[in-house]
Amino acid sequence: MKNDLIVNLQKILKEDLEGDMNMSYLSSIYWIFWRDMKRYWRSKIGIAVRLIQPIVWLAFVGNIFSSTAVLLESVGFLGSYLDYLTPGIIIMTVLFTSIFGGFGTLWDRRLGYMNKVLATPISRSSIALGSVFAISFISIIQSLTIVGLSLFLGFQLRTGIIGLLGIVVISMVLSLGFGSISIVIGVKSKTIEAFWGIVNFIGLPLLFVSSALYPTELMPNWLASISNLNPLSYAIYLIRLATSGFSYEPFMMLTSIIFLLLFAVVALAVASYVFTQEISRPL
């Protein structure tokens, strides 16, 4: 797999010399993306482990709090707690898949493999973008897997294929943002321990200060204000809207879409810049 990538990156140099710069940049992104996807598919145990936590949340927490439907109705949600919880678990899966994804960058640097990639004449930013797109694609696969498991447990997808498309788009945008953040952490971290410490410090508070598990209306005002700055809350709102088909507020929907798009674009730009500046520096 490693040799294939290096050979294909060398082919990109030939494309550069022939003047096809745009195609070579896209080819660089593609081959980095494809290499990360192959690494993901070969990690069967890793795939299984990533699904254990969401299954536990859906099967146990979804049933433990099944009697809270009346409480949810008081804040305008008309479905069961499992219907309420599932979008939150989907976004939780996207969050942790994305924010853990930058570990591959740190691991490649420690193994010396990144030095081989850097020895090729491809753009440094294309390496970052290829990795982020792979993280995003993996997040989409896992979010759809969670949907399938939740349907088996009793989740009601009232909007059919439209709801699934909404899940795909929202998961993609959110994972582009957090995948970019993870790449920045991966390229800036000097040790494995530092990487895992930082991503867990970021991930868990973001999950709990969101509407993933409970409505923000039940939070203290100061905590609800923080939740309004959390990208997860906007993504969860959009997925609940896409899957439940309940009434919505146009202003809130538009605000959520704009917020997530800005988050993803800014995070991608920052990741591309930081990666380009830091990747050649020694650990």
Residue whose C-alpha is closest to residue 272's, from 203, 169, 176, 173: 176
Q: What integer pLDDT is reported at residue 114 of this predicted model?
A: 78
How many folded domains does the chain comprise? 1
User: What 8-state DSSP symbol labels residue 216?
Assistant: G
Position 29 in a domain? no
Position 186 in a domain? yes
Average pLDDT of the segment spanning 151-167: 84
Position 117 in a domain? yes
**What's the CA gap between 124 and 190, in Å, rounded?**
19
**Residue 279, phi then psi, degrees to nearest 5:** -65, -30
- pTM of structure: 0.84
pLDDT digit string, tens, across residues 56-112: 777 777 666 666 666 676 666 767 778 888 888 999 999 988 998 888 888 888 877
Q: Which domain holds residue 248?
A: 44-278
Position 34 in a domain? no
**What's the CA gap between 16 and 14, in Å, rounded?**
5
Position 231 in a domain? yes
Position 247 in a domain? yes
Position 15 in a domain? no
**What's the CA gap between 233 and 271, in Å, rounded?**
23
**What's the CA gap between 200 and 181, in Å, rounded?**
13
Position 132 in a domain? yes
